[in-house]
């Protein structure tokens, strides 16, 4: 799913089968409510990855990095 909001900012949410181990090395690791998140910042975008069962979820946006992280925290479900 892709969304465009105020100030022409964009947000994309995608899910695919895989694991966080398949992501590139680096990024920032955080845990929230028992869920592991991996955060990358590149080319003005923030990418936040987490697992829901066997599915990798990712939010990508050009809004404030911490806003993307907080939205991922709100959306994530521990499976």
pLDDT in tens, 2-48: 889 888 899 999 999 999 999 999 999 999 999 999 999 999 999 99
Domain that holds residue 44: 2-75
> CA-CA-CA-CA torsion for 18, 75, 38, 31, nearest 10 degrees?
-120
Structure-token pair, residue 75: 């959306």
The pTM for the full model equals 0.93
Over residues 42-76, the pLDDT tens digits come to 999 999 999 999 999 999 999 999 999 999 999 99
Q: What is the pLDDT of residue 5?
A: 84
How many structural domains does the chain have?
Answer: 1
Contact between 53 and 79 (Cβ < 8 Å): yes
Q: What is the pLDDT of residue 79?
A: 87
Contact between 72 and 63 (Cβ < 8 Å): no
């Amino acid at each position: 799913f892709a969304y465009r909001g105020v100030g022409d900012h964009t947000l994309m949410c995608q899910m695919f089968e895989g694991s966080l181990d398949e992501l590139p090395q680096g990024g920032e690791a955080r845990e929230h409510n028992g869920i592991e998140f991996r955060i990358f910042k590149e080319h003005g975008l923030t990418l936040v990855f987490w697992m829901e069962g066997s599915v990798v979820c990712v939010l990508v946006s050009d809004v404030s990095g911490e806003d993307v992280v907080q939205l991922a925290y709100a959306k994530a479900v521990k499976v």
